[in-house]
Amino acid sequence: MANHSQLGFQDASSPIMEELVEFHDHALMVALAICSLVLYLLTLMLMEKLSSNTVDAQEVELIWTILPAIVLILLALPSLQILYMMDEIDEPDLTLKAIGHQWYWSYEYTDFKDLTFDSYMIPTTELPLGHFRLLEVDHRVVIPMESPIRIIVTASDVLHSWAVPTLGVKTDAIPGRLNQTSFIATRPGIFYGQCSEICGANHSYMPIVVESTPLPHFESWSSLLSS
């Protein structure tokens, strides 16, 4: 859950999000090095008079051609690695289907019989004390922690997007099309997200709440809900 005036990311709760945060820090360090070098060269040009031999030197041209290529490689390799990791879907322990509507989500646990429900935002007037305004729902998505989860995302009317930042998940919900992704919740907790595609007047009123629990708690919840 993000805090007021928070500058960084939310605490990562999945291996993919941990990799994304590390890559973000890596890219920022590269950008900081580039900005520092450019600032130094600008200061040097303003403070000192460069000779034409220095400006036209072939060694300098060789450096400012090779150096950007090296920087791009340093950014591309970890980026491609993370992209392949995000597309890779192992054998899931649980498959969940999320269907976007105007303006709520429907969920189907395809590994269980008749385990489906709709998830609506709780209005502010009915919100229990201590819960988050515009983020709490009447039915949370409950998943077992430390288990591979595959989520299939689609929509019934317009474009939506199922996004939970702390899990590193953001998948577009497109009518007539099934998109899928996977994640692993590495710790128990309650993770909040929202629809990340403008989908109409009440776009900001269709939050997502994922509750990660130990496996025995998830089994008790699923048996109670499906009975």
Same domain, 80 and 168: no
- Which domain, by its residues, includes 216? 92-223
Same domain, 65 and 122: no
Same domain, 79 and 161: no
Q: Give the residue from 66, 85, 104 where a domain finishes.
A: 85
Q: What is the pLDDT of residue 186?
A: 92
> CATH number for the domain including 207?
2.60.40.420
Q: Give the residue from 55, 85, 115 where a domain finishes.
A: 85
Q: Does residue 3 sit within a domain?
A: no
Q: What is the pLDDT of residue 1?
A: 66
Same domain, 219 and 142: yes
Same domain, 127 and 193: yes
**3-class SS letters over the chain:** CCCCCCCCCCCCCCHHHHHHHHHHHHHHHHHHHHHHHHHHHHHHHHHCCCCHHHHCCHHHHHHHHHHHHHHHHHHHHHHHHHHHHHHCCCCCCEEEEEEEECCEEEEEECCCCCCEEEECECCHHHCCCCCCCCCCECCCEEEECCCEEEEEEEECCCCEEEEEHHHCEEEEECECCCEEEEEECCCCEEEEEEECCCCCCCHHHCEEEEEEECHHHHHHHHHHHHC
Quick check: 158 pLDDT over 70? yes
- pLDDT bin (cut points 50, 70, 90) of residue 50 is low
Q: What is the pLDDT of residue 167?
A: 92
Q: Does residue 37 sit within a domain?
A: yes
Q: What is the pLDDT of residue 172?
A: 93
Q: Does residue 103 sit within a domain?
A: yes
Same domain, 132 and 210: yes
- pLDDT bin (cut points 50, 70, 90) of residue 48 is confident
Tally of domains within the chain: 2
Q: Give the residue from 69, 85, 101 where a domain finishes.
A: 85
Same domain, 107 and 162: yes
> CATH number for the domain including 62?
1.10.287.90
Same domain, 131 and 200: yes
Check: pTM over 0.75? Answer yes or no.
yes
Quick check: 104 pLDDT over 70? yes
Q: Does residue 1 sit within a domain?
A: no
In tens, the pLDDT along 125-154 reads 888 888 888 899 999 999 999 999 999 999
Same domain, 74 and 163: no
Q: Does residue 5 sit within a domain?
A: no
Same domain, 81 and 97: no
Same domain, 132 and 181: yes
Same domain, 111 and 141: yes
Q: Does residue 7 sit within a domain?
A: no
Lowest mean pLDDT among 3-12, 29-38, 46-55: 46-55
